[in-house]
Amino acid sequence: MKPAHLATALLLLAIATPSFAQSKKEQKSEDEVTKAYRELNAAETTKKDRAVMERLMTDDYYYVHSNGNAATKAQDIASDMSPDNKWTNSRTDDFKVRVYGHVAVVTGIETLTGTSKGFIPGPRRFTEVWVRQDDKSWKTVGGESTLIPATKP
């Protein structure tokens, strides 16, 4: 290989390596956020697992629900643990995680089956913000959801 070609190849390799490492790091973060989101979603809907909710929500968590009500961490946990909350299934579609350093934005469509006082079952679009704290654990700071109107035939 000619010296000029070797230099060009080494330069391209040097440029490509950090971006490859970055994408692997971003993918790892996306996977961690996805796992945390799914664990929290199950804890809130069908499992009613207070310990998981406490662990995966920041203390200043704030969520605006599809019924227009806003809730703090304590209010959301109390609502999720209530006997009035009887979700039997939660399905998430069109799920996306975008990572920006120590912040992640999660979007998708969640379809809830069952009943919960003050809520309508069915699909809703959501956006959540997650942060990595202490360079290790991801927690949600909150988000919002909006009902998707039923389409008429």
CA quadruple 67, 146, 84, 42: dihedral, nearest 10? -160
pLDDT of the chain, 153 residues: tens digit per residue:
565 554 554 444 444 444 444 588 889 999 999 999 999 999 999 999 999 999 999 999 999 999 999 999 999 999 999 999 999 999 999 999 999 999 999 999 999 999 999 999 999 999 999 999 887 899 999 999 999 998 766
Domain count, the chain: 1
Amino acid 9: pLDDT:
46
Does residue 66 lie in a domain region?
yes
**What values do phi and psi take at 14, rounded to 5?**
-65, -35
Does residue 153 lie in a domain region?
no
Counted residue by residue, the chain has a size of 153
**What values do phi and psi take at 135, rounded to 5?**
60, 20
SS3 151: coil
Does residue 74 lie in a domain region?
yes
Q: What is the domain extent for residue 125?
A: 28-147
- Cα separation, 111 vs 92, whole angstroms: 6
* pTM as predicted: 0.83
- CATH code of the domain in which 98 resides: 3.10.450.50
Does residue 84 lie in a domain region?
yes
Amino acid 69: pLDDT:
97
Amino acid 151: pLDDT:
78
Amino acid 14: pLDDT:
46
* DSSP state for residue 121 in the 8-state scheme: -
Amino acid 153: pLDDT:
67
